[in-house]
Structure 1
Amino acid sequence: MFNHYPDWAQQLAQKYLSRTINQFILHGNVHDLVPLNKEGETDFVRLKEFFSKEFFGARDYVIFYDRSSGIYFRDQETQKDFNRALSGRDSLLGTDYADNLPKDPVRVFSLLEQYFRVRFDNKKSIALVIDYAETIVPMNEAGSTGSEDRTAMVYLSRWAQDPMFLAADFTTILLTENLADLNKTLVQHPYVNEITIPIPDQQERSAFIEFETSADVFSDISEVPQKVVAQQTAGLNFINIRGILSNAKQQDQKISTKRLSEAKKELIEAEAYGLLEFVETEYTLDNVAGHTAVKKHLRQAVKALNNGRKDVLPMGYLVCGPVGTGKTFMVTCFASEVGIPMVKLKNFRSQWQGVTEGNLEKILGLLKAMAPVAVMIDEADAYLGDRDQSGDSGVSSRVFSQIASFMSDTSNRGEILWFLMTARPDLMPVDLKRQGRAEEHLALFPPHTKEDRIELFEAMKNKSGLQLTEEYVPKLIKKDSNRLSGADMEAALTRAKFRAAAQNSEKVTPEILDAALNDFLPPTYPQEIELQTLSAVIECTSKELLPERYREMDRGEILEKIENLKLRVG
């Protein structure tokens, strides 16, 4: 009966037909088009049009409401019937609502309830659709909820469980993008059901592109095959895709891989309220100096993903090591090589009640729709918080639970690849580091062999744009005592360029280079660096990824050293 509806609408219909629930919260992609499959063809309509003409097409009356527009109706017949009822009320109570409809929830819900009860007596069927429900019953702590919010909450709760409303052919639909933005009392109400409207999958996107363009027209507006466009628009909704297609038609600029990538990046960052940032680089793992074993390990993951073996990939990686060892650069290069988009989570926390959880819900929904995707979280020990954090009304612990639950969803294996980076893995909660979440722990260290030091020097020389008067490897680089990190070496080479510039030369002589390196004193925090190094050693989940000097070290002894260092560095 409902086979031509999308899955979420079929779920809604089945739950309503159980006759035990009449109030539903629809959240997620609520401001998009709805695909309808009829007689082998797919049509796309607005959500409100879907409710008024299709889903509730047989209802006697369909009413819509939001705080801005107030009450509005499916058709003139419904409006006339409502106005007749309102005129009778006005003449009885001396009000003028028929000529001046209120828009505030309390008066609107009072009028609607009186209207509903009268029409239920006449065996009429009614559907009420409330848009932007988070503005009617917003997320608030119980003690800070305003009088208007509480009153609106009482009306909705009563409609959800009143026997008269349950016995009638009556449905309330509340629309909101983020479930976390709604009052939790309503979300958790036993007579209220929540249903997610997902962002379109590849099959739906492909059907929509066919709906918007015919085969011959599509070739006129795109250099990229239709199938590839459907694949590369993962994370976009139908309206976003329509914008890309319309722009190609109107601007007479064919869709190219580059334009498609730029448009997707811009649209998704906008959809995420600027809380997601795409990470792009022209480098690959070939540009990473040293870390040979780690690069080999990551390239095995690239091979597995390219061969479709998502089942063998870890849920996520914990990348640790002392500051300056190139953790962020390594992960960025991996994303470039594996050929999937990588995004970086920006600060989604807010001072306003409920906004933080809503932001995170939006972000996680987009990540699910964008899959396959890699997610980079730098300074993860500080960014993700802890289950036991307090002092912010429980926001941090709720955020932590949301992320931990999402990371452990096994359906995301090989689809959403997490990279948690930190110099202090010992500060991260075990919940995130355990198997089933950040399963593989990779440790990066400063170069320990002469070959690694020379390789790092060459890489930093190219990165900094250092030009030498002749091929030369500095004496300090060859010394076994040298422990410069990549960041240190880049800073030292920049100083060498500065000295050459002071002598009006663009190129650096071996003498200037040696002098600059010998003069360079990296910021010295020996105890902090040792703590970070040993923490990375103890955290690494693969012995072959450790430098040889650390492989046979007694782990009990390392743990004891770590505890002593923690006491010393505070």
Structure 2
Amino acid sequence: MNPNHEFFSELARLLNSGQSRSVVLSGNIYDLLWDGASYVPLNSFLFQKTKTSGLIQLVYELNGPIRADEASLSKLRGAWVEWKSGVDANLLALQDLQQKGSKLEFFQAEFDRHMRDATGNPTLALELLRQLTICSRASLRENLLIIIEAADMLLPEAGSLASLNDRQLHRISIVHDWFGDPEFAEGADSVCLLAESRSLIHSRISRMPQVLSVDVPAPSLEHREGYVRHFLDNNTPAPKLWSKPRALAECTAGLSLQALRQMLAGAAYSGDPLTVAQVFDKVEEYIRTQLGDDVVEFKKPSHTLKDVIGFSDLKEFLDRELIPRFKAKGAKALPGAAVAGAIGSGKTFIFEAVAAELDLPVLVLKNIRSQWFGQTDVIFERLKRVLDALDKVVIFVDEADTQFGSVDANAHETERRLTGKIQAMMSDRQLRGRVLWLLMTARIHLLSPDIRRPGRVGDLIIPVLDPVGEDRLAFIRWLLTAVEIEDEEAPSEENQITELDLSVLASDYSAAAFASLRSLLAALEPKTWEEVRAAIHDQIPPEIGATREYQTLQALLNCTRRSLLPDPDVNEEVREDWRKRIQELELQGIR
């Protein structure tokens, strides 16, 4: 079973219809593809699939020669002679019989010299290829298909033109004139530029209206299964699988066929059965390699909602609505949720537990921006390919307000472009129910309104508030489990809880503050009630109360469910009071 490649059908449609004569092939361009007989690299795949009468194929590799078969080179040489001399090569040969010097040999030698000089000289190679398309229109009876590898290195995007050297500028000028030539655009010759990302090709070329793009996607489930079966049938000894090829294909979503080949070859060599755990480890390693350890990590939360202290109403809501809608597909599915609350409120811990309840791969997006020019777009495109390949995944973003910027005029172009792409991905109907976004932020008001709107994470904005009432008492009980009081005169446990609640602990104690205090008590190992009280009394909370109040008010104001507010019947008058208090805090410099 070796299904067709849809990207090639799209490429053929663009070229055969004459819609474009210059196409960028980007994406999964370094993988193996089935050409009908075997699995080969992309350039070989294109060479084989486009082989037809009336078409001459040329492949240019960076620092290599311009490759073509001998028959094609002979036809090109003859067309070059005719174009340069203005006379058919056979007629020119007859004329040369009556002269001492041979024009035929001169022009043939010129063609061969240009082909030799183009080896290792990208600038000469591109100019020669451009001239060959002019020659083709004038003298060649066949059409040309030119495949240019490593276009991102030949024509690099580096910001301003001033940062490029003379040779790079010359190459950009050659290709710009070439693709912009109306006769080339209206002709029958075609050029395919291969690059991992269109954004890595200089914008003078990539943004030309004549240049269209076709994305080479990560291998689908059917392609992975076809490769596994092909490998098992054609390798001795074959690797041992824990199940059928289909099961392995399902577990390797996100892997390239190259990575799949490495895994199968290693298992065949060792003779040990391939396990599910090994496969998942390989998928995680590959995705981290593709995106970078500083961009993404896999998280495997070990705690569930049963391990979350307090937050009884929130946990009930998560069980009743959020988790079922995250597990749903189609119209019932949520694209994601934003989680707001003051620093230290417990947002990350709670929603790591949610991720564990979902039993799905969790990708933690750490830093999608790159310091290198053009790399942010490349990282995003790699992420998009990974997400397209995975069946279902949770994207966990902490401090989302700093990860995703704005799209207004004051934002940097890269930031606007990145935020716009993230927003489009959240709204993508094909990804709805497959890619689940969990955005954590203490500054929900700084998250772009375009991300907060309905249809994206604005469908559900959840406030995480400091524990009060029974939830606060649950935290105090948990706090006391860290100590073993040996004092017979100590108050009863209920009286200890009441005393801490009413007299000792501040009213705005957060989940993080309780966790920190519990850790301290576990380390000090107090044995009497007075020692416990003294240890707690010694704690001075950091001076962040006004900041936390501001963040809590923003979480309340942006909440999209009445049932998640302290008072579900809150009216507009109370909400206006929140806004006024926010303004007061802002006048004090709190934001």
TM-score class normalised by the smaller sequence: 0.7 to 0.9
How far did 1:328 drift? 1.2
Change (3 A) 1:21 1:172: same
Correspondent of 1:115 among 118, 127, 132: 132
Deviates more, 1:543-552 or 1:166-175: 543-552
1:119-198 alignment to 2 at 5 Å?
119-120=136-137, 121-144=139-162, 146=164, 147-166=166-185, 168-198=187-217
| Aligned 8 A contact 1:59 1:127 in 2 | no
* 1:453-472 residue CA offsets vs partner (Å, 9 max, x unmatched): 2433465678xxx4635795
Tell me the residue number matched to 2:100: none
Change (3 A) 1:74 1:245: farther
Structure 2: distance between partners of 1:75 and 1:468: 84
Residue type at the aligned position of 1:343 = L
Structure 1: distance between partners of 2:234 and 2:330: 33
Deviates more, 1:43-52 or 1:280-289: 43-52
Tell me the residue number matched to 2:226: 207
**1:316 aligned onto 2:311:** no
How far did 1:63 drift? 2.1
| Aligned 8 A contact 1:340 1:374 in 2 | yes
Tell me the residue number matched to 2:122: 105
**1:226 aligned onto 2:264:** no
Residue type at the aligned position of 1:385 = G
Tell me the residue number matched to 2:574: 554
Change (3 A) 1:83 1:496: farther
Residue type at the aligned position of 1:137 = L
How far did 1:99 drift? 4.9
Tell me the residue number matched to 1:301: 322
Tell me the residue number matched to 1:347: 367
| Aligned 8 A contact 2:476 2:501 in 1 | no
How far did 1:444 drift? 0.4
| Aligned 8 A contact 1:60 1:126 in 2 | yes
Structure 1: distance between partners of 2:453 and 2:512: 30
Change (3 A) 1:510 1:252: farther
3-state secondary structure, aligned to 1:446:
coil
* 1:513-567 residue CA offsets vs partner (Å, 9 max, x unmatched): 3332232222132211111111111111111112249945711111111111111
How far did 1:495 drift? 2.0
Tell me the residue number matched to 1:433: 452
Tell me the residue number matched to 1:368: 388
Change (3 A) 1:461 1:130: farther
Correspondent of 1:45 among 40, 44, 61: 40
Structure 1: distance between partners of 2:455 and 2:574: 27
Structure 2: distance between partners of 1:159 and 1:420: 46
* 1:61-89 residue CA offsets vs partner (Å, 9 max, x unmatched): 3222233x332424354467778979956
3-state secondary structure, aligned to 1:421:
strand
Structure 2 gaps, min length 5: 82-104, 487-491
**1:62 aligned onto 2:18:** no
Residue type at the aligned position of 2:519 = T
Structure 1: distance between partners of 2:160 and 2:234: 56
Tell me the residue number matched to 2:420: 401
Deviates more, 1:268-277 or 1:102-111: 102-111
| Aligned 8 A contact 1:499 1:512 in 2 | no
Which one has a bigger Cα radius of gyration?
2
| Aligned 8 A contact 1:496 1:512 in 2 | no
How far did 1:201 drift? 2.0
Tell me the residue number matched to 1:468: 484
How far did 1:326 drift? 1.2
TM-score for the superposition, normalised by structure 1: 0.87
| Aligned 8 A contact 2:23 2:193 in 1 | yes
Correspondent of 1:336 among 351, 356, 371: 356
| Aligned 8 A contact 2:305 2:354 in 1 | yes
| Aligned 8 A contact 1:35 1:45 in 2 | yes
Deviates more, 1:100-109 or 1:228-237: 100-109
Deviates more, 1:341-350 or 1:473-482: 473-482
Correspondent of 1:491 among 513, 516, 524: 516
Change (3 A) 1:460 1:311: farther
| Aligned 8 A contact 1:59 1:125 in 2 | yes
Tell me the residue number matched to 2:88: none
How far did 1:43 drift? 5.1
Structure 1 gaps, min length 5: 501-506
How far did 1:432 drift? 1.1
Tell me the residue number matched to 2:502: 479
| Aligned 8 A contact 2:426 2:456 in 1 | yes
3-state secondary structure, aligned to 2:588:
helix
Residue type at the aligned position of 1:70 = G
How far did 1:447 drift? 0.8
* 1:371-394 residue CA offsets vs partner (Å, 9 max, x unmatched): 4111111111122111126474x2
Structure 2: distance between partners of 1:222 and 1:460: 48
Structure 1: distance between partners of 2:480 and 2:122: 65
How far did 1:136 drift? 1.9
* 1:396-425 residue CA offsets vs partner (Å, 9 max, x unmatched): 222222222222222221111111111111
Structure 1: distance between partners of 2:178 and 2:387: 35
Root mean square deviation of aligned Cα: 3.2
3-state secondary structure, aligned to 2:128:
helix
* 1:156-190 residue CA offsets vs partner (Å, 9 max, x unmatched): 33433435434654221111112221223323322
Change (3 A) 1:131 1:518: same
How far did 1:341 drift? 0.9
**1:71 aligned onto 2:65:** yes
How many residue pairs get aligned? The number is 550
Change (3 A) 1:458 1:196: farther
* 1:212-259 residue CA offsets vs partner (Å, 9 max, x unmatched): 225999996222443332222222221122222222222233222221
3-state secondary structure, aligned to 1:364:
helix
Change (3 A) 1:516 1:50: same
3-state secondary structure, aligned to 2:65:
strand
